[in-house]
Amino acid sequence: MERVTRTGPKKFREALKRGKCLIGPGVFDGISTRVASTVGFDFLYLAGSGATGSRVGEPDLSVMTQTEFADIAGMMVQHTDLPVIADADTGFGGPINIRRTVQLYEHAGVAGLHIEDQVFPKRCGQLKGKDVVDMQVYLERVRSAVEARMDPDFVIIARTDARQAKKFGGTEAGEEAFHEGVKRLKAALDAGADMAFMESPRTEEECKELVKACAPKPVLINVLPHGLTPGFTTSDCQRLGFAAAIYPCTGFIPSMLAMQRSYEGLRKEGSDLKYCEGNTIKNFFVQVGLDEDFDFDNRIERFSKEEVQHTSKQDES
């Protein structure tokens, strides 16, 4: 398998130029990365919500640190040949902290990150009660990320949560909040961001206006099941003009439901057999690279045996 490390940013940028909407499912651990990589997606998205729940068993409320995110991202990059885009929350501090965040993410091998304008501590964009910093602080965050990157292909995605911010009306906000979000994204693009990301535009009309306002720069859309944004299909995202679409919950919500069923089944029925659907522990190991590992191990063993035999023949002569 070709590893994406150090080539992810370039791959992602080249894919953006092809003009189709790139699709990235949410991944949050090693097994989700391995499984999603076999399906045929364009990139993978390190979802802060799923990663926080998986790594520390907490909701997405700013409890994960920059080093934990970078550590997970680095592990994911090792196990896929797809570019990985990672959630970077608010950047985890001021300009110097944001510079370190970008450096850590780049070193981990990810293709890019998104950084947002929520106040700290932030919360998942789908939750009520969030608010955003003023424009100057937001642009400081974006510019810090832009200037911190070493690889010019590393993608800086500017995210705004103004559409649902308390200061603009919360989840009941109207056009004023939407237009504030557009204004912020346009300013972030002018500050050097490569891509725009508005959390939860409400309608198709807003999506079209958002894409048009940010042109020619690409725009990313975030689609969650039963979320504030309509449940767009991948074809919808293409039709609306988005350059990329992330589906953060694709992995972790179905995984949670499967675990609920199997754990409850074992407790109530006394067996987990039917929930494994005929799969064995070996099937799980194959999914996370057993065949590759055995091939590597056997290849090294053959090499060492041949070297010993060669050395022995030389000694005899």
Listed by start position, the domains of the chain span: 8-257, 279-316
From the candidates 79, 100, 114, 184, which is the catalytic residue?
A: 114
147 an active-site residue? no
* Residues 54-63, mean pLDDT to the nearest whole number: 94
Distances (CA, A) of 207 to 81, 187, 227, 230: 31, 18, 15, 10
Q: For residue range 16-28, list pLDDT tens digits in order.
A: 999 999 999 999 9
Does 222 participate in catalysis according to the annotation?
Answer: yes
Q: Is the pLDDT of residue 273 over 90?
A: yes
Percent pLDDT > 90 in the chain is 89
Beta bridge partners of 27: 46
Q: pLDDT tens digits, residue range 204-217?
A: 999 999 999 999 99
Average pLDDT over residues 290-296: 94
Q: Specify the DSSP element, H or E, that contains 251.
A: helix 249-269
Least confident of 136-145, 172-181, 227-236: 172-181
Average pLDDT over residues 75-84: 96
Per-residue pLDDT tens over the stretch 105-156: 999 999 999 999 999 999 998 888 899 999 999 999 999 999 999 999 999 9
Region 226-241 average pLDDT: 95
pTM of the model: 0.93
pLDDT at 263: 98
CB count, 10 Å around CB of 7?
17
Residue 6 makes CB contacts below 8 A (sequence gap 6+) with 109, 151
10, 236 contact by CB (below 8 A): no
Average model confidence (pLDDT) for the chain? 94
Predicted confidence band of residue 37 (pLDDT cuts 50, 70, 90)? very high
Indicate if 283 belongs to the active site. Answer: no
User: Which residue is catalytic, options 29, 42, 89, 194?
Assistant: 89
Is 140 in the active site?
no
71 catalytic residue (yes or no)? no
* Percent of the chain with pLDDT strictly greater than 70: 98
Task: List the one residue out of 213, 216, 219 whose CA is nearest residue 244.
Answer: 219
CA pair distance 90, 177, nearest whole angstrom: 19
- Could you confirm whether 42 is annotated as catalytic? no
Q: Does 3 score more than 90 pLDDT?
A: no
Asked whether 247 and 24 are in contact (CB, 8 A), the reply is yes
Whether 60 is catalytic: yes
Residue 239 a catalytic site member: no
Q: What is the CATH number of domain 8-257?
A: 3.20.20.60
- What pLDDT band is residue 5 in, cutting at 50, 70 and 90? very low
Q: How buried is residue 273: exposed, middle or buried, by Cβ count under 10 Å (0-12/13-18/19+)?
A: exposed
What are the φ/ψ torsions at residue 17 (nearest 5 degrees)?
Answer: -70, -15
The C-alpha atoms of residue 290 and residue 287 are separated, in whole angstroms, by 7
Annotated catalytic, 299? Answer: no
Residue 245 has pLDDT above 90, yes or no: yes
Q: What is the rounded end-to-end Cα distance, in angstroms, of the chain?
A: 41
pLDDT tens string 88-104: 999 999 999 999 999 99
Which of 79, 149, 159, 163 does the annotation list as catalytic?
159
pLDDT above 60 for 288 = yes
Whether a cis peptide bond, with omega within 30° of 0, leads into 83 is no
Catalytic residue chosen out of the listed positions 42, 45, 117, 180:
45
Q: Predicted confidence band at 316 (pLDDT cuts at 50, 70, 90)?
A: confident
- Which of 60, 106, 161, 206 is catalytic? The answer is 60
According to the model, what pLDDT value does residue 6 have? Answer: 65
Q: Is 114 a catalytic residue?
A: yes
